[in-house]
Amino acid sequence: MAPQADTSATDDAVDAPAPDPSQRERNAVPPGAKSRAPARTGWLAKLGPGLITGAADDDPSGIATYSQAGSSFGYDTAWTLLLTYPLMVGIQLTSARIGRVSGRGLTEAFLRLWPAWGVWLLVGSLVVANVINLGADLNAMGDAAALVTAGPKALHVIAFGLVSLALQIWLPYERYVRVLKWLTLSLLSYVAVAFAVHIDWLAAAKGALLPHLQWNKEFITMVVAILGTTISPYLFFWQAEQEVEEIKRVPEDQALRQAPSQAPAHLKRLKLDTWIGMGFSNVIAFFMILATATTLHAHGHTSIETTAQAAQALKPVAGEAAFVLFGMGIVGTGLLALPVLAGSAAYALSSMLGVRKGLDRPLDKAPAFYAILAAAMLIGLAIGLSGVSPMKALVYAAIINALASVPIMAGVMLAASSRKVMGDLVIARRLKILGWAATGVMLMAAIATLVTRWL
């Protein structure tokens, strides 16, 4: 059994749960599975779901939000990234623990606690928001590619969507994860952009450490947008499901509820992976704000609304190299975010329908799962080609996410505290504090979204 500090905050001793007879079957190699892998060795190999999830948070819609924050308000919103970091870790680590401990994703955990109709509402809102976000991200990627490499935008949008879908369907899971890990490096382009220009580090430090609040609709809306794009429901579902995939990928691994002797090592890995992944995400977002504050805001470009506008405005101010780095960073992080958006929707909906799921399975062994994945990607592709304003699409996605995030986050916290779901390995008190704090902040953000939108 795991050490007490890593298992339960209640200090109540209970009998270990009886082994689930179906667990061995779930952990067995699926017929025709794409790949199986030996256990991880070395700390770098231990990074996976948390790192990929954190990097995917800086998708093109996130880049648009952070660029808009930097160009509109300079360094004054940099403090939000310090606020969101521990909150992100709290809710993402809790989600990951549900997957690793129970051997099931969030949808299955919710179904053990809530009536099916309530879970359908949450999953439905997740799928709708994800598909809209897919369309907006593909639109932004097409704009960026057309700016940097020329060629028709529509062709780029179609290529990105189909390549991403093909990789998810036909690339073996182990190789697919490696591709996603390498794509996280594309985000370093925003660090390069920041260091390619002259940053007032004293002003940047003040912006990060001494919150400067402006009590007007525009500033409040921007802070809410940063919170909404940083703490997003699809990331919870994705990281939990990827921990389930990892259990199936490594022959020796089992769900911790059935193999408590594995808990100390895996819970330590989860912490490392999540703290580093979310830290990477927020550092990159911080540099996006710094880069656009130093260049665009300082030169009077304060009304940037899209990633393409940000890249275009950056060119005469920071030069050709910064322009190319910014534009290609949008493409790289988009290719990282597309499978997370489509995949999290497919996992959640497949769980509700009770069909076989998993990127570790070949197409013929999980046809319904891949059909849902393809449908999400193709509908997103249609939205990206439709001419709908990406900013309008992102606004609608943000509103849906803001409203859905609170009950989903509450469900995550309740599931992680339930012995029915977690057995003896319920989350510790400190993680409950972080997770519920994140839920409370998102509740305030949801209220602010409605107030600033309709009042």
SS percent in the chain: helix, strand, coil, step 5: 75, 0, 25
440 pLDDT tier (thresholds 50, 70, 90): very high
Give the pLDDT score at 89: 92
Q: How far apart are CA 97 and CA 381, in angstroms?
A: 33
More confident residue, 142 or 52: 142
Cα dist. 323→226, 318, 392 in Å? Answer: 23, 7, 25
Average pLDDT, rounded, for the chain: 80
Q: And the tokens for 207?
A: 């912006």
- Better-predicted residue by pLDDT, 319 or 41: 319
Number of C-beta neighbours around residue 45 at 10 A? 12
Q: Give the integer Cα–Cα distance in Å for 2 and 422.
A: 13
Q: Which two tokens stand for residue 12?
A: 């109540």
pLDDT band for 218, please (50, 70, 90 cuts): confident
Q: Check pLDDT > 50 for residue 390.
A: yes
pLDDT at 398: 67
Question: Which among 207, 224, 204, 180 is positioned nearest to 59, based on CA atoms?
Answer: 180
pLDDT of 76 > 70? The answer is yes
Distances (CA, A) of 448 to 122, 220, 411: 20, 8, 21
| 403 has pLDDT over 50 | yes
Rg of the chain, C-alpha, whole Å: 21
Amino acid 307: pLDDT: 67
Distance CA 365, CA 384 (A): 30
Q: Which two tokens stand for residue 365?
A: 């062994």
- Is the dihedral angle over the CA atoms 225, 231, 233, 238 positive or is it negative? positive
Res 399 pLDDT > 80: no
The residue among 18 and 219 whose pLDDT is bigger is 219
Of 400, 409, 384, nearest in space to 144 by CA = 384
Among 190-194, 229-233, 375-379, 407-411, the least confident range: 190-194
Is pLDDT of 361 > 80? yes
The answer on pLDDT for 40 being more than 60 is: no
pLDDT bucket at 99, cuts 50 / 70 / 90: very high
Average pLDDT of the residues in 241-269? 87
In this model, does residue 454 exceed pLDDT 70? no
Indicate whether 4 pLDDT > 80: no
Q: What average pLDDT score do residues 295-322 get?
A: 68
Choice between 186 and 20, residue whose per-residue pLDDT is larger: 186
Would you state the pLDDT for residue 142? 86
Say yes or no to pLDDT of 27 above 90.
no
At 280 the pLDDT is 86
H/E stretch holding 67? helix 60-73
Rounded (10°) CA dihedral 404, 342, 145, 192: 70
| More confident site: 10 or 86 | 86
DSSP 440: H
Say how far apart CA 33 and CA 56 lie, in whole Å.
Answer: 26
